[in-house]
Amino acid sequence: MSRQFSVAVAGCTGAVGVEMLKVLEERNFPISKLKLLASARSAGKKMKFRGEDIVVEELTHDSFKGVDIALFSAGGSISKEFRQSVVDAGAIMIDNSSAFRMDDDVPLVVPEVNPEDVKKHKGVIANPNCSTIIMLVAVAPLHKAFGLKRLVASTYQATSGAGAKGMEEMLVQTRQVLNEEPIAPNVFAHRIAFNLIPHIDVFTENGYTKEELKMLNETRKMLHDDSIKVSCTCVRVPVMRAHSESLNLEFKTKVTPEMAREVLAKAAGVTLKDDPAAKVYPMPVDASGQGNVFVGRIRQDISRDDECGLDIFVAGDQVLKGAALNAVQIAELVAAL
């Protein structure tokens, strides 16, 4: 019989945690025992896995005895607090937060992009930022074929990117606007219903937000190329689920839309949605619940005199491929080590 793993999910009641359980079940991950962990608020609650009720336990430093793989999605401060306990227990931590992504001893992995980096782990593997994952599933195969020089991205990020509370805030505010009731923003800096907010994570000294700089730094780390230039504007939009991105790409060699389509049609994790005449292009409602990243609107960049630029549009479910699915795919790579 092939090896079975004792798995813990920390943050099991959250937007990402709930999806992790579904993905573990759907992909039939070889689990001998599943431990569900969340805050004291959720302890005692029951969640279903493979038809069985599992009782949620409070996350403590003793939670990881006998655990082989610990999937974390409870926020960066929780990951930092429990990292040592996970490693001391001999488990491998796969972390969804931004806590360790840029650490030299922590591989940052998208299985379709840099699966071999998993081998370098020293007890912790990080899941990249959700917008970066969605972008790189589409961009990495083009980079491999044509050599990416520079990338300019604008994102359209769903409210679920801020967790279960983010989705709830959009729904509550939408009702409040329709009922002409007063609105008090809480999760987001401003009203999100019937609005958009060009502000995700905190601002840094150079005027970019941390979210925007994650897309630069994580791209360079995963493509192993510090010469790639990246500039981003990250925007929260009143979409429930799935992030979209407009990407302007500059390559070292000439590339036509046909050449790009040929590469992307064969790329793992990509679904081409590129038939504008039939009104087929990537949209968040279609990408929601899908593991693949949708790519379309592939055009030659007409602002250039050479043929080295492309514009593309992507949409991907950031709770799934941007978090839960990517983490479980990493666990599959770990299981195969």
Ligand X SMILES: NC(=O)c1ccc[n+]([C@@H]2O[C@H](COP(=O)([O-])OP(=O)(O)OC[C@H]3O[C@@H](n4cnc5c(N)ncnc54)[C@H](OP(=O)(O)O)[C@@H]3O)[C@@H](O)[C@H]2O)c1
Of 59, 106, 259, 314, the one binding ligand X (CB under 6 A) is 59
Q: Is 139 among the residues that bind ligand X (CB under 6 A)?
A: no
Q: Are strands 293-300 and 270-272 parallel, antiparallel or unpaired?
A: parallel
Q: Is 11 among the residues that bind ligand X (CB under 6 A)?
A: yes
Other CB atoms within 10 A of residue 305 CB: 7
Q: Are strands 243-251 and 309-316 parallel, antiparallel or unpaired?
A: antiparallel
CB 220 within 8 A of CB 226: yes
Q: Is 163 among the residues that bind ligand X (CB under 6 A)?
A: yes
Q: Which residue is nearest to ligand X (CB)?
A: 14
Consecutive H or E run containing 20 = helix 15-26
**Please, what is the minimum distance in Å from the beta carbon of residue 84 to ligand X?**
16
Q: Exposure string (b/e) for 158-192, b if CB count within 10 Å is 16 or more?
A: bbbbbbbebbebbeebeeeeeeeeebeeebbeebb
Q: Is 157 among the residues that bind ligand X (CB under 6 A)?
A: no
Q: Is 102 among the residues that bind ligand X (CB under 6 A)?
A: no
Q: What's the burial of 266, exposed, middle or buried (CB within 10 Å: 0-12/13-18/19+)? A: exposed
Cα 323 to its chain centre, rounded Å, is 4
Interface pattern 14-33 for ligand X (x via CB under 6 A): xxxx----------------
Token pair of 182, please? 């007063």
Q: Which is nearer to ligand X, 95 or 250 (CB)?
A: 95
Of 8, 63, 93, 97, the one binding ligand X (CB under 6 A) is 97
**Please, what is the minimum distance in Å from the beta carbon of residue 289 to ligand X?**
13
| Selected range binding ligand X among 114-122, 141-149, 157-165, 231-239, rule: CB under 6 A | 157-165
Which residues participate in catalysis according to the annotation?
A: 130, 243
Q: Can you give the binding site for ligand X, defined by CB under 6 A?
A: 11-17, 38-39, 41-42, 59, 73-76, 78, 96-97, 130, 160-161, 163-165, 318-319, 322-323
